[in-house]
Amino acid sequence: MKGLEFTTGGESHGPSLSIIVRGIPAGLRLDLDRMNGEMTRRQHGYGRGGRMKIEQDRIEVTAGVRGGETLGSPIAMTVRNRDWENWKAAMDPWAVDEKEAENRRLVSPRPGHADLAGGQKYNRRDLRDVLERASARETAARVAAGAVAKELLYELGVKVSSATLSVGRVGDPNRPVTAKDMSEVDHESPLRAIDRTVEGAMVEEVDRAKLDGNTLGGVVAVVAEGLPVGLGSYVHWDEKLDGRLAQAVMSVHAVKAVSIGDGVTAAGLFGSEVHDPIVHQKSKGFSRPTNRAGGLEGGVTNGKEVVIRGYMKPISTLRRGLASVNLDTREPHRSQWERSDVTAIAACGVVCEAMVALVLASVMREKFGGDSMVEMKRNFEGYRGQLRGW
């Protein structure tokens, strides 16, 4: 059984972002307000640049839904770029004004960005052709796709949430993380910090970086609760769920490392300090009092919360610039600055949540199949009944 598939299209300053999600069964009721709530959450966060004051991301569904219920056909969505109005002359799909295009050309590539390698690969001398698609604006499309995946997961009793563990040097990236911590995160707070006592210091860290013309990364955690035992597989390398989640989170812009559970700290400890003991109670069956494995053993869910961390590098567009080369003269030149964020760590958590939700919804579809929600839920319930026999 195929799971969920999605694809996105769209340039950062083009007319809109397009999203197609394939594999959602018929008969899932979608809550558009809740889905748009995800879009709003991604736009929040201290340290964002001026663009977020222009955009008001809203999902427009154009296919696959009737009367608020999915039809089993591909779900097509659009998110408009309001900034397009300011970029038409340079970004029009058919008629580009040469002077405007020249004004918007990126002459000195940014170290850490896709600019140079992307230009060489696709043979685009105007690096705007690269940066427009490489831009993290695309994460709005991922959150729209993830919002659909989350609707399916809600229906199956699964919840995915996230928080910021650290920004630059402030916060503790290795602190234990549970779903309860996530439920206490204030999504309106400046950085969606898991520990409110350090949020003020995080804000100051962002202010310092901004004054310095610099940028910051950080670490986010994503937690999924309500998953049954047995998603993923230990028998094929590409079906191991930890590997699939890592790929999904690593694909988020500026994420350079991913860990599952206490993966990073565990590498420096003894086995006796790391592995979660197994206990059995007549009333509850098998369980583990700790969750250092982050809910995954052998690439398979074990019934505990799945805990993933994403490590985001500092954004590669710095107001102070970085050592680079002018593509026209081949002389040393500071990398160009254009309006950007100091940090997007608060948004990164929401985007990682979306990617995790998409993978989890996909493995649920692979395991429980069904063309309709009724059929899928029946299969899911049958499996849960089987597990109760253990």
Binding mask 70-99 for ligand EPS (x = CB under 6 A): -------------x----------------
Q: Is 135 in the site for ligand EPS (CB under 6 A)?
A: yes
Q: In this complex, which beta carbon is closest to ligand EPS, that of residue 137 or of residue 365?
A: 137
Minimum distance of ligand EPS from residue 250's CB (angstroms): 17
- How far apart (Å, rounded) are the C-alpha atoms in residues 218 and 209? 13
Q: In this complex, which beta carbon is closest to ligand EPS, that of residue 12 or of residue 108?
A: 12
Q: Is 215 in the site for ligand EPS (CB under 6 A)?
A: no
Q: In this complex, which beta carbon is closest to ligand EPS, that of residue 104 or of residue 292?
A: 104
- How far apart (Å, rounded) are the C-alpha atoms in residues 126 and 124? 5
| Encoded tokens for 199 | 């949020």
Q: Position of tokens 């490489």?
A: 134
Q: In this complex, which beta carbon is closest to ligand EPS, that of residue 132 or of residue 195?
A: 132
CB 152 within 8 A of CB 24: yes
Minimum distance of ligand EPS from residue 119's CB (angstroms): 15
Q: In this complex, which beta carbon is closest to ligand EPS, that of residue 49 or of residue 111?
A: 49
What letter represents residue 2's amino acid?
Answer: K
Q: Is 317 in the site for ligand EPS (CB under 6 A)?
A: yes
Q: Considering only residues 41, 133, 137, 292, which one is a binding residue for ligand EPS as defined by CB under 6 A? A: 137
- How far apart (Å, rounded) are the C-alpha atoms in residues 297 and 303? 10
Contact residues for 237 (Cβ-Cβ < 8 A; gap 6+): 243
Stretch that binds ligand EPS, among 134-142, 158-166, 233-241, 259-267 (CB under 6 A): 134-142
Q: In this complex, which beta carbon is closest to ligand EPS, that of residue 180 or of residue 256?
A: 256
| Encoded tokens for 388 | 């109760």
Q: Is 110 in the site for ligand EPS (CB under 6 A)?
A: no
Q: Is 363 in the site for ligand EPS (CB under 6 A)?
A: no
Q: Considering only residues 51, 150, 244, 309, which one is a binding residue for ligand EPS as defined by CB under 6 A? A: 51
Q: What is the DSSP string of 339-390?
A: S--S--HHHHHHHHHHHHHHHHHHHHHHHH--SBHHHHHHHHHHHHHHHHT-
What letter represents residue 1's amino acid?
Answer: M
Q: In this complex, which beta carbon is closest to ligand EPS, that of residue 140 or of residue 345?
A: 140
Q: Is 8 in the site for ligand EPS (CB under 6 A)?
A: no
Site for ligand EPS in 150-209 (CB under 6 A): none
Stretch that binds ligand EPS, among 178-186, 289-297, 300-308, 336-344 (CB under 6 A): 336-344
- Tell me which H or E stretch contains 1: none
Minimal CB distance to ligand EPS: which residue?
51
Q: Is 338 in the site for ligand EPS (CB under 6 A)?
A: yes
1: exposed, middle or buried (Cβ count in 10 Å: 0-12, 13-18, 19+): exposed
Contact residues for 53 (Cβ-Cβ < 8 A; gap 6+): none
Minimum distance of ligand EPS from residue 299's CB (angstroms): 32
Q: Considering only residues 340, 352, 358, 360, which one is a binding residue for ligand EPS as defined by CB under 6 A? A: 340
Q: Considering only residues 29, 339, 378, 384, which one is a binding residue for ligand EPS as defined by CB under 6 A? A: 339
Q: Is 341 in the site for ligand EPS (CB under 6 A)?
A: yes
Q: Is 259 in the site for ligand EPS (CB under 6 A)?
A: no
The strand ranges marked E within the chain are 5-9, 16-22, 60-63, 65-66, 69-70, 75-80, 159-167, 170-171, 218-225, 255-260, 279-281, 285-287, 296-297, 300-301, 306-312, 323-325, 332-334
CB 48 within 8 A of CB 116: no
Q: In this complex, which beta carbon is closest to ligand EPS, that of residue 70 or of residue 135?
A: 135
197: exposed, middle or buried (Cβ count in 10 Å: 0-12, 13-18, 19+): exposed
Q: Is 136 in the site for ligand EPS (CB under 6 A)?
A: yes
Q: Is 321 in the site for ligand EPS (CB under 6 A)?
A: no
Q: Is 12 in the site for ligand EPS (CB under 6 A)?
A: yes
DSSP-based three-state secondary structure for 180? helix
Footprint on this chain of ligand EPS (rule: CB under 6 A)? 12, 49, 51, 55, 83, 135-137, 139-140, 317, 338-341
